[in-house]
Amino acid sequence: MLTAIILTHNEEPHLPDCLRSVAWAEQVIVFDSYSTDGTLAIARAAGARVLQREFDNYAGQRNGALQAAQTEWVLFVDADERVSPESAQEIQRVLTRPEAGWWLPRHNYIFGRLTRHTGWYPDYQLRLLRGARAHYERPVHEVVVLAGEAGYLTHPLTHLNYASVPEFIAKQRAYAQYEAERLAAQGARAQPHHLLTQPLRQFWWRFITLQGWRDGWHGLRLSWLMAGFEFEKYQRLRRYQR
């Protein structure tokens, strides 16, 4: 038995297609942080079980959802993700296997374009879990702590990631702030040369090592943007030092 869990907050545009893509699951839970749009009505109309919890951080939300699930297996799907029929069949086939969890690859669509390189593929996510053997840690970019081994599936989720450049910039700035705070709390210090070397290293890693050049202009733009946010992260870290 498997429960598909979708974490939501004002996901009215994305939710209908996401719900249709997991309709094969024995149970679907929409775990909501008090949406004010039509999210809840859409979820109930689709037959999903709706639960609400005040948002504190992503690890807390996912742990709360894990506790609410009543099946052995849990599949976490974000509202802007879709499970293909091929992926659904592969998931169902492995539920009798002994692994405690499974990593799923993702196809990321960034600015409407499938991004096959630059660090966005295969983009494995540990999303299929035995609920009793998993919990989440870290408030942002949360990680699963799994009691047991995890395997790898082959059919990707579809992730409708970053519809526009302004959305991308806003989210990456938030991540840069979080990472700067995390590094400062760990006692890390940014030297003046880091403002040059770290962005260059990020660009080289994205564009050359991860073959962003194979994504053409799209890969160049993404590599440049990510280098810029590496600069911003270390600039903010230096401010904390002052």
pLDDT tens by residue, the chain, 242 residues: 999 999 999 999 999 999 999 999 999 999 999 999 999 999 999 999 999 999 998 899 999 999 999 999 999 999 999 999 999 999 999 999 999 999 999 999 999 999 999 999 999 999 999 999 999 998 777 899 999 999 999 999 999 999 999 999 999 999 899 888 888 888 888 888 999 999 999 999 999 999 999 999 999 999 999 999 999 999 999 888 77
Burial label, 38 (beta-carbon count in 10 A; 0-12, 13-18, 19+) = middle
pLDDT at residue 68, rounded to an integer: 94
User: Which run of H or E residues covers position 27?
Assistant: strand 27-32
| Domains along the chain with CATH numbers | 2-161 (3.90.550.10), 165-241 (no CATH)
In sequence order, the β-bridge partners of residue 103 are 126, 152
- CA angle, residues 73, 75, 80, in degrees to nearest 5: 170
pLDDT at residue 141, rounded to an integer: 78
- Distance of CA 124 to CAs 38, 46, 107, 108, 156, Å? 31, 28, 10, 11, 9
Question: How big is the chain, counted in residues?
Answer: 242
pLDDT digits (tens, 9 = 90+) for 58-94: 899 999 999 999 999 999 999 999 999 999 999 999 9
Contact yes or no for 31/54 (Cβ under 8 A): no
In degrees and rounded to multiples of 5, residue 73 shows phi and psi of -105, 145
Burial label, 209 (beta-carbon count in 10 A; 0-12, 13-18, 19+) = exposed
pLDDT at residue 138, rounded to an integer: 81
pLDDT at residue 186, rounded to an integer: 85
Q: For 170-239, list the strands marked E by DSSP.
A: none
Mark 184-200 as b/e (b = at least 16 C-beta within 10 Å).
beeeeebeeebbeebbe
In sequence order, the β-bridge partners of residue 81 are 159
In this structure, which amino acid lies at residue 151? G
pTM of the model: 0.90
